[in-house]
Structure formats: structure tokens, C-alpha cells
Amino acid sequence: MTRTAIVTGAGQGFGLALTTALAERGTTVVACARDGDRLRRALAGLPGVVALPGDVTDPGFRAELVGAAGPGLDLLVHNAGELGPSPLPRLGEYPLDPLRGVYETGVLAPLGITQLALPALRANGGALVTLSSDAAVEAYEGWGGYGSAKAALDQLAAVLGVEEPDLHVYAFDPGDMRTAMHQRAFPGEDISDRPEPASVVPAFLRLLDASPPSGRYRAADLGAAA
């Protein structure tokens, strides 16, 4: 069983649902998000959860985050991400400054945290999970910014899986979920047909418990409730 975990983007959506489930399993979770008030409200009363507000694009905060987890860290979940502008722009008109923000949050920050966390993860034979998306492997109009960042993150996970054979490194694709980010991607549309994030968490936990070889896994293939 996981002893100590870091979950980024834990103030809402899938990150919050996963943090709750891990805490219920007895895991100590260091949970971070940019919005400190929302993070503390969301996690209030959860046993063994350390709410640590901060921005993963800040190197100082990344060091604080990994330091808070300590040497017992054996699970690192890169859930934090940045959608980019809404409505989603086509690549031909995509403003580059917001795109840099998407890559900073979705690619460079996870790698920066991973580099700091590797000594503990190696010592504990731990697991590293990046949150993927079908936009990483499929071409959807308007999803070029977010999708290319997720594709890059998938590749980082794949290479880390080769370079770190003693770790379990997974890219986990949860599928569409009813989240604030997904709503921003479809402004004005009804997304109530998408599953709640909590319904996808069991698939994530099955992945951890089964400990298959490093690779990319879809919640739909792991029997997630929809």
C-alpha cells in the first residue's frame, strides 16, 4: 500500500477525488493547488492530508512540495494541468504566451518535480503517474495546445519508464470527466453526460494495485465506472 503520495492539482476534480480516496486508504497525501482557500476547504477533515498551496511552475515551491513529502514518498501523481485559452483556439491563431503557460504547467513542471522526487521514489520502489488525455493521441480541432502538451508528457513518462526500470511509471488516461476544465473547453455546452471524477478513481487504484509494467493505460480498459 502506498505510504506517502504527492498529488498536484488537488483542489477540485480528479485530483480532489483521488486525494480523498488515497486518504481513505490510510495514505499520507501532500496535496497542492494554486488556489489555497479552495484547497483547504476541499480537504478539510481528511485524515493524513497536508494541504500545500502553491504553483508548480515555481521552482521554490516544487522543492517545498517534495520536501514536505519526505523520504517516504512512494507515489507521485502529476494531475495539475493548464487548458489554455477558452474557447480553444486553432493552432493557426494560437497566442504563444498562453501556450508557454500550458507547457510550463503541463510538461516542464512535472519534470521538475520528478527530478526532485526521484531519489525517494527510487529508494521506495515507488510509482509515478502522469494524467494523460485522448487529445494526446488523437487530433481534435482546437486541442493542439493542450493535446501537444499531453503528448509531450506521455513521452516523458514513456522514457522515464525505460530509464527508471525499478519504478512503475504510468501515463493514465481517465477519459472525459465532468470537471471545471472540461467545461471551459466547451463553454456554454451541457457536459452533464460526462462521468464524475470520483467514478474514474477506482480504475486508477486498480492500476496501482495491479502494478503492471510501465506504460500508458486508459481508465476505460481498467473497468472504470462510467
Mean pLDDT to the nearest integer, 35-45: 96
Q: Is the pLDDT of residue 206 over 60?
A: yes
* Dihedral pair phi/psi, residue 216, rounded to 5°: -100, 130
Which of 194, 226, 220 lies closest to 207 in space, CA to CA?
A: 220
Q: What is the reported pLDDT for 187?
A: 84
The answer on pLDDT for 159 being more than 90 is yes
Q: Exactly one of 94, 103, 140, 146 is catalytic; which is it?
A: 146
Non-local CB neighbours of 22 within 8 Å, separated by 6+ positions = 2, 5, 7, 29, 75
Catalytic: 217? no
At residue 192, does pLDDT exceed 80?
yes
Note the pLDDT tens digit of each residue in 81-104: 999 999 999 999 999 999 999 999
In single-letter form, the type of residue at position 74 comes to: D
pLDDT of residue 1: 62
Structural domains in the chain, sorted by start: 4-221 (3.40.50.720)
How does the average pLDDT of the chain come out, rounded? Answer: 94
Asked if the model's pLDDT at residue 27 lies above 70, the reply is yes
Mean pLDDT calculated for residue range 138-148: 96
* pTM strictly above 0.85: yes
Q: How confident is the model at residue 182 (pLDDT cuts 50, 70, 90)?
A: confident
Q: Is the dihedral of CA 40, 131, 25, 122 positive or negative?
A: negative
